[in-house]
Amino acid sequence: MGPDIKEPLTLPCGLVLPNRLVKAAMAEGLADKGHLPGPRISRVYGEWAKGGWGALLTGNIQVDRESLDAWKQYADACQEYGTPAIAQICHPVRQSPRGAGEWGLCGQTIAPSEIPLHIGDGVAASIVRNVVFGSPKGMSQSDIDHVVGQFVNCARVLAQCVFSGVELHAAHGYLLSKHFLQSNTRHDQYGGSAGRRARIVLDIIQQIRNVVPATFCVGIKLNSADPSASDFEDTMSQIQLFGNAGVDFLEISGGSYEDPTTQSTAAREAFFLDFATQTRERLPNIVLLLTGGFRSREGIEAALKAGVCDLVGIGRPAVLRPDFPQLLIDKTYSDQEATVAFSKVPIPFLARLLQIRVLGGGAETEYFQGQIRRIVAGLATYAP
């Protein structure tokens, strides 16, 4: 039988999580001038810090930003009440729209292969893709070395700022996801076999370990895979490689900019659970964090007791109830009360008309960003 929700967990690096509930990463949309964290993001994480979580995962942090004072204040706000804060770090690759960050309107994004983003079918989707995202440049060895260095330096800076760890974002269509791990068309040392496609991630893990304290957590987030798919065995072998490289946990998730609407369907949530079960059976020693669809004490306890996962990631319910762990752990609340239920945000008419998937997923993101802004303003949140 698996653990109880309130049971602590010691990760391989020695970091102790006080319980099994992790506030999952979400797009907060609260960066200040210079794309840095400021008082607004510290305010909302201060609220989560009081909520009794086992750990807080930040929204994704792009690896090319550095300002020690700003990140130190962010880390302090997250960990004011003793909850470990793990910073999710990523590179947006071809999913970065023109003008975002430091790219500029005429800048060209990079990707493992020169494959443009697919955001939907039809002429309208193609026009939007070309205007908003453009086509990426295939990465040279120099580009790869530079990106590896960015990840390593970002982790080093965050460790100096006293974050408890980092999570490499290798899901949702970002640089380290399927473009390297699964479907890149390279013919060099980063393409071909499953192990060669995983090389950039393994290099990043090893080099991060060389520049951070031994107790600093290094996790990784991957998309789930269909056990019946032809590349499932490749995914399992890559997970084994990451485990051997010393990752402290593996988070299982799904979706991408190309198909974001799959992230919150009931079928997809069951898909995560099935993939986690398969991963647990094959690789029982890897710490698994399962994120997606959990809303209630009963559901979370069932997954933990069945041994399917070691940790449960909570996203949108954490926005509607920043003290969600207290609701679940406090047994004065019945199982019927210990839940946060809400409806799906409707897909905008324009997204359905133009067949542009990213707009559908954007409606969910925008709604919950609005609720996060209400927390910042000291207002009550409300469900869709």
- Reported as a single tens digit per residue, the pLDDT across 279-299 is 999 999 999 999 988 999 999
CA gap 365, 172 in Å, rounded:
14
What is the secondary structure of 192-253 as a DSSP string? SSHHHHTHHHHHHHHHHHTTS-TT-EEEEEEE---TTSTTHHHHHHHHHHHHHTT-SEEEEE
What is the secondary structure of 325-363 as a DSSP string? HHHHH-TTS-TTTSB---PPPPPPHHHHHHTBHHHHHHH
Condensed to tens digits (0 to 9), the pLDDT of residues 118-152 reads: 556 666 656 655 555 667 778 889 999 999 999 99
CA gap 189, 323 in Å, rounded:
47
- Taking alpha carbons only, the member of 335, 331, 317 closest to residue 48 is 317
Side chain identity at 311, as an amino acid letter?
Answer: L
Residue 7 has pLDDT above 50, yes or no: yes
CA gap 137, 327 in Å, rounded:
48
CA gap 173, 115 in Å, rounded:
12
Residue 270 has pLDDT above 60, yes or no: no
Side chain identity at 15, as an amino acid letter?
Answer: L
pLDDT band at 331 (very low <50, low <70, confident <90, very high): very high
Q: What is the pLDDT of residue 169?
A: 93
Share of the chain above pLDDT 90, in %: 54
Give the DSSP H/E element, type plus range, for residue 71: helix 68-78
Side chain identity at 129, as an amino acid letter?
Answer: R
Q: What is the pLDDT of residue 92?
A: 72
Provide long-range contacts, Cβ within 8 A and 24+ apart, for 359-362: 360/260, 360/261, 361/255, 361/257, 361/260, 361/261, 361/263, 362/260
CA gap 169, 98 in Å, rounded:
21
CA gap 188, 112 in Å, rounded:
11
> Domain 9-376 belongs to what topology?
TIM Barrel (3.20.20)
Residue 58 has pLDDT above 90, yes or no: yes
| Residue 9 DSSP label | E
Which backbone phi and psi does 262 adopt, to 5 degrees?
-75, -10
How many CA within 13 A on the CB side of residue 70? 15
Contact 205, 246 (CB under 8 A): yes
| Sequence-ordered list of residues with C-beta below 8 angstroms from that of 76, at least 6 positions apart, any chain | 42, 162
Side chain identity at 177, as an amino acid letter?
Answer: S
- Taking alpha carbons only, the member of 263, 113, 137, 92 closest to residue 192 is 113
Q: What is the pLDDT of residue 101?
A: 53
Local structure of 111: helix, strand or coil? strand
Mean pLDDT taken over the chain: 84
Q: Which residue has the higher pLDDT, 99 or 13?
A: 13
CA gap 325, 321 in Å, rounded:
9
Residue 52 has pLDDT above 90, yes or no: yes
Sign of CA dihedral 152, 154, 156, 158: negative
Residue 200 has pLDDT above 60, yes or no: yes
- Crossing angle between the packed helical segments 357-376 and 39-49, to the nearest 10 degrees: 80
Q: Residue 333 forms beta bridges with which residues?
A: none
pTM: 0.86
CA gap 115, 137 in Å, rounded:
9
Contact 11, 42 (CB under 8 A): no
Q: What is the pLDDT of residue 118?
A: 58
Q: Residue 22 forms beta bridges with which residues?
A: 55, 313
Residue 312 has pLDDT above 50, yes or no: yes
CA gap 331, 348 in Å, rounded:
40
Contact 9, 311 (CB under 8 A): yes
- Chain-centroid distance of CA 231 in Å reads 22
